[in-house]
Amino acid sequence: MKKQVVITGMGVVSPLGMGLADFTEALRSGKSDAVGPITLFDTSQFTTQFAAEVKNFNPENFIDKKKARRMDRFTQFAVVAAKMAIEDAKLDTAKIDLSRAGIVVGSGIGGISTIEAEYKNLLEKGPKRVSPFLIPMEIINMAGGEIAMDCGFQGPNYATVSACASANHALGDALRLIRYGDADVMITGGAEAGITPLSLAGFCAARALSARNDQPQKASRPFDKDRDGFVMGEGAAIFVVETLEHAKSRGARIYAELAGYGATDDAYHITAPHPEAVAAIKAIQRAIEDAGVTPADIDYINAHGTSTPLNDKTETMALKKVFGERAYKIPVSSTKSMTGHLLGAAGAIELAATVLCMNNGFIHPTINYETPDPECDLDYVPNKEREAQITCAISNSLGFGGHNAVIVVKKFGND
């Protein structure tokens, strides 16, 4: 028998707001207020000039000033979200076995703002002016490292790096580490702060981003016929997950069961999905099987839904292949329509959205859905939230390099 693994705490730092209450309210509202002109740097020379930034973020409200200055922005997001999750879970670290408490946090890009700043120092001032904190600030595993130093966790600790599938891979690994008996409790999720000049320039050059500079809040439009690319986002979502026994022993409140995980790779192209979605289909099927449920049990799908022409069409195809005619009856929505694309943190913020919808009796909308696409013809919950009871859901993440990672969550007690 597989150990039951449950979610007992969540922390969110997002373009839609800080904390679970603000994030839930924003999901219900169906607004894209988070998307607007980039304020972090001058974008006058860029073809895309907007993104979904985390506004009014002051790490010193949560982290010692000296420590915060030695963390990249993505690590600050991760540490703050982890603090929120641990507090939300009411996890007393003095009362658990720290050697059996671990961390897996994913990120696609990591400390790129630090790399850019220190490379500028190298070119303008020479190698002696490069910060001694460059390496520990830019490496992706440092998000988990800083969280461990903050809370004292001494169990398995590493990072997953698989582009936009990073967070779902982290969640899946955390699930398996607990199931295999390597840990009783894990801190897991994803963090990203990739809205930087170099990242923006790279995505612009790849023609991956929407260029609706005149209507940024209308730019992220997953599954809409007139979609023209994704909107960059940033932030973090971190979870406390633990065995059911461990959660019960400390009287924890349980949000949901982290029930299944499936992962594959297209082995096809560096950025484009496989045209027949063969591996994405397998990832969804494996996650459902791992959860011990059937396709008939799934009553909500949080799609990867990037708002790019190829992804949305291919993901729709995959869902039809997995669920057959029933695909047309399952509500599907894209969190990215409101948050933008959080890259390596996307799967985490989207799982948080899924669990919050499950616990609050609604399905958040896919906003900016105005013109139906014949190749994307499922129920995308357009533009307005829908009251519904979710008992079993999947959350898809599909990354550059062909990485597919799918998570299944079940309403706790719904066996």
**351-397 tens-digit pLDDT:** 999 999 999 999 999 999 999 999 999 999 999 999 999 999 999 99
Helix (H, G, I), strand (E, B) or coil at 394: strand
**Alpha-carbon gap, residue 390 to 184, rounded angstroms:** 27
Beta bridge partners of 349: none
User: Which pTM does this prediction carry?
Assistant: 0.97
Cβ(252)–Cβ(184) under 8 Å?
A: no
HSE-up of 348 (CA within 13 Å, CB side)?
43
Residue 414 pLDDT greater than 70, yes or no: no
Identify the CATH number of the domain defined by range 261-407: 3.40.47.10
Cβ(380)–Cβ(399) under 8 Å?
A: no
Query: Among residues 169, 246, 274, 341, which one is catalytic?
Result: 341
75: DSSP letter: H
- Per 3-state DSSP, the chain is made up of helix, strand and coil in percentages (nearest 5) of 40, 20, 40
Task: List the Cα angle 70/73/142 in 5-degree steps.
Answer: 60
Residue 104 pLDDT greater than 70, yes or no: yes
- CATH class for the domain made up of 5-256: alpha beta
Q: Which helix (H) or strand (E) holds 289?
A: helix 278-290
Q: Where are the alpha helices (DSSP H) in 139-243?
A: 142-151, 166-179, 197-205
Mean pLDDT over 195-215 rounds to 98
Q: What is the mean pLDDT of the chain?
A: 97
Mean pLDDT over 73-98 rounds to 98
Query: Where in the sequence of the chain do the CATH 3.40.47.10 domains occur?
Result: 5-256, 261-407
pLDDT tens digit string along 304-329? 999 999 999 999 999 999 999 999 99
CA dihedral 336, 340, 341, 347 (to 10 degrees): -50
pLDDT band at residue 336, thresholds of 50, 70 and 90?
Answer: very high
Which pLDDT belongs to residue 387? Answer: 98
pLDDT band at residue 270, thresholds of 50, 70 and 90?
Answer: very high
4: DSSP letter: P
Which pLDDT belongs to residue 16? Answer: 96
Beta bridge partners of 393: 300, 409
Examine the residue annotation and report whether 274 is marked as an active-site residue of this protein.
no
**Alpha-carbon gap, residue 362 to 339, rounded angstroms:** 18
Which pLDDT belongs to residue 26? Answer: 97
Residue 415 pLDDT greater than 60, yes or no: no
pLDDT tens digit string along 35-72? 999 999 999 999 999 999 999 999 999 999 999 999 99
Query: Among residues 169, 246, 304, 364, which one is catalytic?
Result: 304
The neighbour count for residue 261, using CB atoms within 10 Å, is 24
> Number of helices (H) and strands (E), helices first, in the chain?
13, 15
Cα-based distances in Å from 119 to 111, 125, 134: 12, 10, 10
Q: Which of 344, 324, 359 is nearest to 401 (CA)?
A: 344
Examine the residue annotation and report whether 341 is marked as an active-site residue of this protein.
yes
Residue 1 pLDDT greater than 80, yes or no: no
Examine the residue annotation and report whether 357 is marked as an active-site residue of this protein.
no
* β pairing state of 101-106 and 157-160: parallel
